[in-house]
Structure 1
Amino acid sequence: MANDISALADDVFSPPSDSALWRKDFLLGAATAAYQIEGAAQEDGRLPSIWDTFSALPGKVLAGDTGAVACDHYNRWESDLDMLSALNVDAYRLSIAWPRVMDETGRPNRKGLDFYRRLLGRLKEKGLKTFVTLYHWDLPQHLEDRGGWLNRDVAYRFADYADLMSRELAGQVDAWMTLNEPWCSAFLGYGNGHHAPGLANGRFATQAMHHLLLAHGMAIPVLRANDPVSQKGIVANIGRGTPNSGSAADRRAAHLFEVQHNAWILDPLLKGVYPEDLFELWPGTDPLVLQGDMKTIAAPLDFLGINYYFRTNVKSDGAHGFTEVPLEGVERTQMGWEVYPDGLRDLLTGFNETYAALPPIYITENGMASDDNVIDGRVDDAQRIAFLKRHLAAVDEVIKKGVDIRGYFVWSLMDNFEWAFGYERRFGIVHVDYDTQKRTFKRSAELIAKFLKERAARA
């Protein structure tokens, strides 16, 4: 396997001449999230978030790590943007920390707002497209204390937050994304407790999801009114489920896996309904839906962000659901996730056939974690290079089949706080030494920069 990966890594960014990657209008960028890189958790009026609370609880995060310092991006943002510029990327996806920009009464925190204004202004000076996520999981703790996403009122508070940000930052954002991966916020945060706020109840998960999607739907018209030139969308993480056998029961199990991972989010957004199969899988968990909610949730989108990482092989649990059956002999990342680019191709092709209202797509996250080390000043991340090559080839194949994909963002710009896995798992194309905060381009970053320089020269 190592020799195969090295061979794939050699020419990762030398795609065929007819590849969409050569098109200047196909965006290639890098992505981050506020809590994972910013640090400065108590500076300039920032309030506590649910992740500050959760990561401080013993046993919740690997090695007891927290995002209190992270990559210290809040204080090192200028040099980080110079680093980003050196990659020659077209666009940068970042998130705003809700607890940094508003106080408990909803009044703006000017110091926090000024940070993002400076950041976005410098990105525009550098000629980069700006993709901004409003909610990447860091709910202000004071809102969680009032019930969090189980409380319908938080959807209204999110609309207020979207109103403030789109008024303050109008003209500096090319694309607004309301939520990042509501599946993770709802299921991991409220369904099984693996993420903040750490609750574990099936009914909590479906109700939290409804309020997350309602918040999204309420925010879209606000964003349109305040910043009409920008694009508006949402980011969903998708998962490929494959049956462990050809039996009808296992095929049904794979279908149900994709219902709860994909259709749970995409059906309300693009069809205005929840999938009926969801409540076959999770009986008795129907959320409280008020009149007009589904119409609000299904507000037209300018684009859909898609995050993809791996597939899950499943079999029937003998009842109404599925259970995972890990495959042997497959390539896996440091996260233990199978490398399976065909899953991205299959899902995107299927969505194009299933959803008549499917908007243009950006791949807003794709990447892998590996145990990277700096040796003699260099980081040879051959597996990541091969991973990126294969997934970009899958994206190109889907484009040629007629799916409207406008760009691709590698996750992540730099190593960072990987939620419940702390700092052990490294997703970045730039290595971060957390003791010294030194940044080092990995080989993958060098190849990305080289390809994009060559593409610019051809334009």
Structure 2
Amino acid sequence: MPNSGPAAYADAGARPGGTADGRIDTASDAGPAGGLRFPPAFGWGAATSAYQIEGAAKEDGRGESVWDTFSRTPGRTRNGDTGDVAADHYHRYAEDLDLMRDLGLRSYRFSISWPRIQADGTGPANQRGLDFYRRLVDGLLERDIAPMVTLFHWDLPQALQDTGGWESRDVANRFADYADLVFRALGDRVPVWLTINEPKTVVQNGYLTGHHAPGRQDPDAAYLVAHHLQLAHGLAVRALRAGGGTGRIGPAFNLHPCYPADETPEAARAARLYDGYENRLYLDPVFTGAYPQDVLADLGPDSRMVRAVRDGDLEVIAAPVDLLAVQYYTPIYVTGDGGTVRRWPTSQADWQQIHPDGMYDILTRVTREYGPVPLTVTENGLPTPDALGDDGTVDDVARIAFLRDHLSAAHRAVTAGVPLESFHVWSLLDNFEWNEGYDQRWGLVYVDYPTQRRIPKSSAHWYRRVIADNGL
């Protein structure tokens, strides 16, 4: 793992928003220093997920999730770390709400733990679980922060995994039942719902590489899982509409622009197919009611996914949505033989190439190819090797440079006509970073895990100014 941020951001302290010694200039001014204003009422936010921050893994009726099982299995996570305590948000949510208020957040995107609502993924709701999220939502509204709720951010109840997990079509139906319980409990308070977070990551990391729960390496199962995740999304959309919910709803996709690594026809063809697996496999059925034919042909007619698609499934998946959540982290450069190469510096996460223009490319591409659906960026950020200084501060200049450049790219997309409504930094807090445990810090706010003390980093102070100025 790299021990420093990318060289391209080494001079961040001397750029707008910082001082020559790297400190953040918090003096007020008449407007954005760079003159890039975002639309009025733009939704400046930050994001988290339940398993990564909540802790309280065995409290108040919460059941086991696949991530409890995975992280407690020796050798699965760095240092054997688990989310049992994480950032202890379950007990410290009021303090975290005040942090959000002090940052000036207008939107907070978080997820609900399915096993906290239904310990085994079925049956009536656990009232103590619902009450926690009701307190959280009410606290947000009291602070004039709009809740944006993700129904599934990878923490499938272990009891459902034991019956087949996402390989089982029935789990999609169980998800719709769970979604309906949450809609009925919180629907009058939540303006925006997101259904499934990054189904592609579940497919690729959970079932191809095995780096994430449930830790499988089975390509045929992987794409069957992709279909059932998409079906679950559509069933949840229908559940909201059927229950008379007034909130807006859509999926959350991590989209990676796929570029040919060179100018050969072979690279162009390979990049197109790679894009099918990375992006169109998820976008096409939601917005066009069909899976991409090149991907289906590549999978072959005997694929478990191809054989699993039933009459009416694509109509369910294509149930009209109100918005699309886009998560952008990295581009992909594809060679003629279908491999990949790196073109840009990487962050501490070695899979992440830092290329802000990819943000512009993916946002404009979605609008160009799928129409003017309202967009929200629900994750964008990077890990940096943050440490407390002798003065008790955390000076993460590389994160500031990264966010400034990606926000500039997002602003160019808005200027080009992209209907972008909001932007959420990943993440509000340092947290449990899945198989990487606690080694990677992605937060605007430093968490000192032994004491659970929260320390806003330089990036948090910088972001507060961006929000106050509504621009860069």
TM-score range, shorter chain: over 0.9
Determine which structure has greater relative contact order: mean sequence separation of CA pairs < 8 Å that are 6+ residues apart, divided by chain length: 2
Does structure 1 retain, via aligned residues, the 8 Å contact 2:385–2:441?
yes
Residue 361 of structure 1 is matched in structure 2 by 375
The secondary structure found in structure 1 opposite 2:44 is: strand
The answer to whether 1:6 aligns with 2:20 is: no
Inter-CA distance 275–433: structure 2 relative to 1 (3 Å threshold): same
Inter-CA distance 455–360: structure 2 relative to 1 (3 Å threshold): closer
Counterpart amino acid of residue 124 in structure 1: L
1:216-270 deviation per Cα after TM superposition (whole angstroms, max 9, x unaligned): 1111121123353211111000012222211111122222221111001000100
Name which of 72, 83, 86 aligns with 1:67.
Answer: 83
In structure 2, stretches of 5+ residues that fail to align are 1-7, 19-23, 25-30
Name which of 264, 267, 282 aligns with 2:284.
Answer: 267
Q: CA–CA distance in 2 between the matches of 1:316 and 1:299?
A: 36
The secondary structure found in structure 1 opposite 2:11 is: helix
Name which of 327, 343, 346 aligns with 1:332.
Answer: 346
Residue 237 of structure 1 is matched in structure 2 by 254
Name which of 320, 325, 328 aligns with 1:300.
Answer: 320
CA drift of 1:16 comes to 4.1
CA drift of 1:191 comes to 2.5
Q: CA–CA distance in 2 between the matches of 1:3 and 1:309?
A: 19
Please give the TM-score of this superposition, normalised by the length of structure 2: 0.91
1:337-362 deviation per Cα after TM superposition (whole angstroms, max 9, x unaligned): 11101111112222222124x51100
Residue 203 of structure 2 is matched in structure 1 by 186
Q: CA–CA distance in 1 between the matches of 2:71 and 2:400?
A: 31
* Stretch deviating more after TM superposition (29-38 or 240-249): 240-249
Residue 116 of structure 2 is matched in structure 1 by 100
CA drift of 1:281 comes to 3.9
Name which of 437, 446, 451 aligns with 1:431.
Answer: 446
The secondary structure found in structure 1 opposite 2:440 is: coil
Does structure 1 retain, via aligned residues, the 8 Å contact 2:43–2:106?
yes
Does structure 2 retain, via aligned residues, the 8 Å contact 1:334–1:371?
yes
Q: CA–CA distance in 2 between the matches of 1:5 and 1:455?
A: 21
Does structure 2 retain, via aligned residues, the 8 Å contact 1:166–1:227?
no
CA drift of 1:97 comes to 0.1
Number of residues of Structure 1 aligned to a counterpart in Structure 2: 447
Q: CA–CA distance in 2 between the matches of 1:43 and 1:3?
A: 44
Does structure 2 retain, via aligned residues, the 8 Å contact 1:41–1:69?
yes
The secondary structure found in structure 1 opposite 2:290 is: coil
Name which of 402, 405, 410 aligns with 2:417.
Answer: 402
Residue 388 of structure 2 is matched in structure 1 by 374
* Stretch deviating more after TM superposition (131-140 or 214-223): 214-223
Q: CA–CA distance in 1 between the matches of 2:245 and 2:262?
A: 50
The secondary structure found in structure 1 opposite 2:460 is: helix
Does structure 1 retain, via aligned residues, the 8 Å contact 2:107–2:145?
yes
CA drift of 1:314 comes to 2.0
Residue 448 of structure 1 is matched in structure 2 by 463
Counterpart amino acid of residue 187 in structure 2: A
Inter-CA distance 455–271: structure 2 relative to 1 (3 Å threshold): closer
CA drift of 1:367 comes to 0.6
The secondary structure found in structure 1 opposite 2:55 is: coil
1:306-331 deviation per Cα after TM superposition (whole angstroms, max 9, x unaligned): 000011222122xxxx112223xx32
RMSD: 1.7
Does structure 2 retain, via aligned residues, the 8 Å contact 1:9–1:383?
no
CA drift of 1:18 comes to 5.1
CA drift of 1:165 comes to 0.3
Q: CA–CA distance in 2 between the matches of 1:256 and 1:37?
A: 36
Q: CA–CA distance in 2 between the matches of 1:342 and 1:16?
A: 18
Inter-CA distance 129–240: structure 2 relative to 1 (3 Å threshold): same
Q: CA–CA distance in 2 between the matches of 1:347 and 1:170?
A: 31
The answer to whether 1:19 aligns with 2:37 is: yes
Residue 102 of structure 2 is matched in structure 1 by 86
Q: CA–CA distance in 2 between the matches of 1:9 and 1:59?
A: 43
Q: CA–CA distance in 2 between the matches of 1:93 and 1:49?
A: 21
Q: CA–CA distance in 2 between the matches of 1:281 and 1:36?
A: 35
CA drift of 1:10 comes to 2.6
Does structure 2 retain, via aligned residues, the 8 Å contact 1:171–1:227?
no
Q: CA–CA distance in 2 between the matches of 1:374 and 1:126?
A: 29
Residue 357 of structure 2 is matched in structure 1 by 342
Name which of 157, 160, 174 aligns with 2:177.
Answer: 160
Q: CA–CA distance in 2 between the matches of 1:9 and 1:444?
A: 13
Please give the TM-score of this superposition, normalised by the length of structure 1: 0.94
What is the percent sequence identity of the aligned residues?
44
Does structure 2 retain, via aligned residues, the 8 Å contact 1:429–1:444?
yes
In structure 1, stretches of 5+ residues that fail to align are none
Matches within 5 A, 1:209-248: 209-226=226-243, 228-248=245-265
CA drift of 1:2 comes to 4.9
Q: CA–CA distance in 1 between the matches of 2:422 and 2:34?
A: 17
Matches within 5 A, 1:112-123: 112-123=129-140
Q: CA–CA distance in 1 between the matches of 2:386 and 2:444?
A: 10
The secondary structure found in structure 2 opposite 1:316 is: coil
Q: CA–CA distance in 1 between the matches of 2:289 and 2:321?
A: 13
The secondary structure found in structure 1 opposite 2:325 is: strand
Residue 434 of structure 2 is matched in structure 1 by 419
The secondary structure found in structure 1 opposite 2:332 is: strand
Matches within 5 A, 1:31-46: 31-46=47-62
The secondary structure found in structure 2 opposite 1:35 is: helix
Q: CA–CA distance in 2 between the matches of 1:282 and 1:9?
A: 49
Q: CA–CA distance in 2 between the matches of 1:241 and 1:70?
A: 34
